A and B are shown apart, each in its own frame.
Chain A
C-alpha cells in the first residue's frame, strides 16, 4: 500500500461501512444524517480510488487489467460505483452494510501486496479500455445482485417462518430487494453485451476475424444468457420471488467460475477480466 491515495481510500470505505452498519442499528431520527455520512464517505472513497487507478493507468498506458491487482481494484471500484447508483435510484441505504464489506474485501485483496512491476500493457486503446471496463462493470453489477438475492433469501425465510429477530425489522423490504437485484442485473446484462461486442470488434481490427475461439467468450455468452433468463423468469408467475433470487445466486457462481478458473487456467487471451 504505497500510494497515500490507497490508504485514504481504505479509510473512507471503512468509514462508509461503519456508517452503513450504524444505520441498521440506529433509530429513524438519526438515519438520515448517518446515511448522508455513509454516502459521502463512499463517494469520497470512489474519487480517491479513481485517482489510484488513474495513476496506474498512466504508467501502463491502458486500463488496469493485465494483472490481478489492477483487475480486482477496478472491480472493487465498479462495485462501489454500481452500488452508489442503485442507492441513488432506489433511495435505499439499508443494503449498504452488506455490499460495502465486499467492496472493502476486494479492495484490500487487490492492494494487500505491493503491485507487480509496471510494464507496458500488451493491449491498449479506447475500444479495448471500454471492453475491459464494461465487462468488469457487468461482474460488479452481478455481484451486487448476488448480495441482494442472498439477503432476499434470508429475509424471505424469516418472514415465511415467522421468525423475526431484532435485525429483521431493519432489513429492506422483499420487493425492494427484488427490484434492486433486477435493476443491477439489467445494468450487468447491458454492459456485458456492450463489452463483449466491443471485444469482438477490437479482435476483428487486430486479427481480421471476430471469433478467436477463446472458451472465455463462450462462457461469457452463457453467463449473459443465464442472466437474461433471470430477468425474464423473475417476472413470471412460477419464478417470481425466492426462486428467482436463488437463480440469481446460482448464476453468480458461474461468474466466479469465469473470473477465476476460466481466466487463470482455460482462457487464452483473457487473463484477469
Chain B
C-alpha cells in the first residue's frame, strides 16, 4: 500500500501561483474523477484552501510513477507548464504524507501557527470527497486520524488558546475586564482594517450596541450601516465618550483626538465604571497620560502588538507537545497500515502456496494412475490441511508483533523469501 501526496502551500509557492492552482468544490470533484478514471489513483482527495492545494491519493499501481503522473495531471488541469509548477511542489509518500496531513490538521503547518480554521477546512474537504465516493479505506482512515489529531492538539495543548491577532487580543482583553460582552456598548472612532476586525469579533461575541463617529458624517453613516450600528456626530465626541464600555479608535490626526481632560470628564459622567480604550491610531489618538485615570484601561497599538508577540512565543513553546501528539497518531496509523498489510501478505502467501500445491499434485499424481478419484481428492485435501497448519503459527506470530519496525521487517522478509511481489497479478 502506498500513499502519495503532491501539493504546494504558502511555504513553497507565491500567492499568484497558489491562486492558479486552487480548486473550487466542483473542480475538486472533477479532478478526483479524472485521477481515478485515468488510473492514477484508486482513492483520492483534494484539499484546497487559500494557503494550500494538495492532492492525496492511493495509487492504482504500486510500481508506476504515480507522483510524476499526478504532477503532469496537476499542470494540465490548471493549464500550467510542468516545469513552472514543479519547482513549487512538495512530494511526500506513505508515513511522510500522513505526518504532513496530521501537521496540517493540527495547525502546525499554517501561516498563523495553531489557527483553528484549517481543521474545519480539512473536515470539509474530507466530507466532500467521502460523499463523492472518491475516498476508500486508506484515505478514510488517514483523514479520520487527521481530524482526531487536530482536535486533540486543540484540546490538549495551548497552541490555539491565546490570541495572536491585534484585533482578537483587543476583544479578549475586553472579556478579561467585562466578562461576557453581550449587552456592552462599543464606540468606534474612525475606521481602519484592524478596527473593522475588532468590530467583527465584537459582533461574533454578541455585542450589538455600536455607535460610529467619524469626521465625515457620510462616512460615519456608511460605516454604521456596514457594522450594524448607529452613526453619531463628530462634534458630540466629548459627550459620546460617557456612553460606551469600550472605545476603538483609529483616526488619522496629528494631535490626539481624545485628551486626558475629555476622558476624565467622561469617567466622572459614567461614575468611574471601567472603560477599555483600544487606541489603534498612529500617531496615537488618545493622550498617553490618560492611562493613569482611575478605571481606564488604555491600550495603544504597541501594547496590543506586545501582547500578540508574547502569545505568539507561548504558542511556539507549545509546538513540541503538538508535534509529539502528531507523532503518536502517525505511529498509530502505521500500526493500522502494517496490520492491514499482514492480511494482504498472508493472502498473497496463501495464493502462492495454493499454486505450488496444484503444481505439486499435477506432477506427483501423474505418476500414480492406480489411485482412485476419492483417493486423489483425499490426498489433495491432506496436502491443503498440512499447508494450512504450517502457515497458521507464523501468521499468528506475524500479527502479534507489537513493534512496528519489526513487523514491517518481517513482512518485507516474507515478501522477499517467497517472492510474493513478483507473483502479484
Given contacts A29-B154, A240-B295, contact A169 B162 (CB under 8 A): yes
Chain A residues positioned under 8 Å from B178 (CB to CB): 173-175
Q: State in angstroms the CA–CA spacing of A175 and B246 once bound together.
A: 14
Question: Cβ of B307 and Cβ of A241 under 8 Å apart?
Answer: no
Q: Is B260 interfacial (CB-CB < 8 Å)?
A: no
A112 within 8 A of B: no
Pair A159/B173 contact, Cβ less than 8 Å: yes
Is B306 located at the chain interface by the 8 A CB criterion?
A: yes
**A236-B271, A237-B272 known; A27-B179 Cβ under 8 A:** no
The answer to whether A240 and B272 have CB atoms under 8 Å apart is yes
Size bracket of the A interface: 20 to 34
Give residues 320-371 of B contacting A (CB, 8 Å): none
Residue A166, interface by CB 8 Å: yes
> Considering the complex, which residues of chain A in the window 169-187 have a beta carbon less than 8 Å from any beta carbon of chain B?
169, 171-176
Residues of A within 8 A of B131 (CB): none
Query: What is the interface size of chain B, counting residues whose CB is below 8 A from a CB of the partner?
Result: 30
On whether A29 and B155 interact (CB within 8 A), knowing A162-B303, A173-B175, A241-B295, the answer reads: yes
A168 on the interface (CB 8 Å rule)? yes
**B interface, over-half SS:** helix
Contact of B271 (CB < 8 Å), options: A164, A237, A242: A237
Q: Mark B267-302, 1 if CB is under 8 A from A, else 0.
A: 010011110000000000000000100110101000
Measured between alpha carbons, how far is A26 from B152 in the docked complex, in Å? 12
Set of chain B residues within 8 Å of A240, measured between Cβ atoms = 271-273, 295
Q: Given A241-B272, A241-B295, are A166 and B179 neighbors across the interface (CB < 8 Å)? A: no
- Tell me the chain B residues, 143-171 only, with Cβ under 8 Å from chain A: 151, 154-158, 161-162
A32 to chain B minimum Cβ distance, whole angstroms, is 12
Note all chain B residues with C-beta closer than 8 A to A29. 151, 154-155
Instruction: Name the distance in Å between A151's Cβ and chain B's nearest Cβ.
Output: 12
Q: Are A168 and B176 touching (Cβ within 8 A)?
A: yes
Contact A166 B297 (CB under 8 A): no
The 8 Å CB contact of B162, one of A162, A166, A174, A243, is A166
| A237 in contact with B155 given A162-B307, A173-B176, A175-B178 (CB within 8 Å) | no
Whether A145 is near chain B, meaning CB under 8 Å from some CB there, is no
A173's partner among B177, B271, B295 (CB-CB below 8 A) is B177
**Complex contact A171–B176 (CB within 8 A):** yes
Q: Does A160 contact B (CB under 8 A)?
A: yes
Chain A, residues 12-37, CB within 8 Å of chain B (1/0): the string is 00000000000000111110000000
Q: Of B155, B172, B173, which is within 8 A of A27 by CB?
A: B155
Q: A162-B303, A241-B294 are in contact. Are A169 and B172 (CB under 8 A)?
A: yes
The complex places the Cα of A189 from the Cα of B177 at a distance, in Å, of 27
Min distance, Cβ A159 to any Cβ of chain B, angstroms: 6
* Chain B residues in 8 Å Cβ range of A164: 176, 307, 310
6 A-B residue pairs with Cβ-Cβ distance under 8 Å, sorted by A, are: A159-B176, A166-B314, A173-B178, A174-B178, A237-B271, A242-B295
Chain B residues within 8 Å of A, Cβ to Cβ: 151, 154-158, 161-162, 172-173, 175-179, 268, 271-274, 291, 294-295, 297, 299, 303, 306-307, 310, 314
4 nearest CB pairs, A to B: A173-B179, A237-B271, A237-B272, A29-B155
Contacts A27-B157, A173-B178, A241-B272 given; 8 further ones with Cβ under 8 A?
A: A29-B151, A160-B291, A160-B297, A169-B176, A176-B179, A237-B271, A240-B273, A241-B274
